[in-house]
Amino acid sequence: MPSDAIVPTLDGPVLVTLANLAGPVTGRQVHQLTGVGSEAGVRNVLTRLVHHGIVHASPAGSAVLYSLNREHIAWPAVQVLAGLRGELLSRLRNAISVWDPKPRTAAVFGSVARGDGDADSDIDLLLIRHRRTAADSEAWEGQVSRLGEDVMAWTGNTCQVYDIGSADLERHIAVHDPLVTAWRADAITVYGTELRSVLRDLGHRVAV
């Protein structure tokens, strides 16, 4: 997760999870939503954060409900942590928007899209080229290379680009490639036509 760069412990993911919730949840729910660490580890983090006042704990029958204390002096810092993934998506969108040639669609997938990546995770980026754009176009290759360098500078993580043309993507759809299923499940479009719309339209072409 991007928050690991600032808070390299389980505290970071727990704080980000709580910051993105509208209401109180149990410790088990925090663990499930955070997606990292053990349930016992998450509960230990919650106990420590309650002690410091950044998290509220409220009894609810036999359970304890946890919520972030947005009045705490550290809340602005937590807001920044929670917004790091959004900042990355925004930077990708802004960078790709000035490309020439532009992709039909650009989308992140994998751990970044799911929000469960760490310092060793790649930034997985799908680029779908228009039919008129060749993969070996000097302008295209230069843009992709520069973006990889930018992502490394922004995050410290390698940008793993899956660069594919519309015609090749049709073939992946036709053979029911598991990667296409994964893109449908969790990819986040950052530029161009929404990915699921592209997959649906190309799927219709394949079916004809």
Does position 154 have pLDDT exceeding 60, yes or no?
yes
Task: Give me the chain's average pLDDT, please.
Answer: 89
Does position 5 have pLDDT exceeding 50, yes or no?
no
pLDDT tens track for 55-78: 999 999 999 999 999 999 999 988
Burial class (CB in 10 A: 0-12, 13-18, 19+), 55: buried
Phi, psi of 123 (to 5 degrees): -90, 105
Give residue 141's pLDDT. Answer: 96
pTM over 0.85: no
Does position 2 have pLDDT exceeding 80, yes or no?
no
Per-residue DSSP letter, 175: T
The separation between the first and the last C-alpha atoms of the chain, rounded to the nearest angstrom, is 42
- All structural domains of the chain: 2-81 (1.10.10.10), 84-207 (3.30.460)
Per-residue DSSP letter, 133: S
Report which of 25, 21, 15 is spatially closest to residue 65, judged by C-alpha positions. Answer: 25
The mean pLDDT of 87-107, rounded to a whole number, is: 95
- 12 against 127, higher pLDDT: 127
pLDDT tens track for 14-34: 898 899 898 999 999 999 988
Rg (CA), the chain: 20
Going 12 to 15 to 20 to 21, the CA torsion angle's sign is: positive
Q: Which letter, b or e, does each residue of 108-141 get, where b requires 16 or more Cβ atoms within 10 Å of its Cβ? A: bbbbbbebebeeebebbbbbbbeeebeeeeeebe
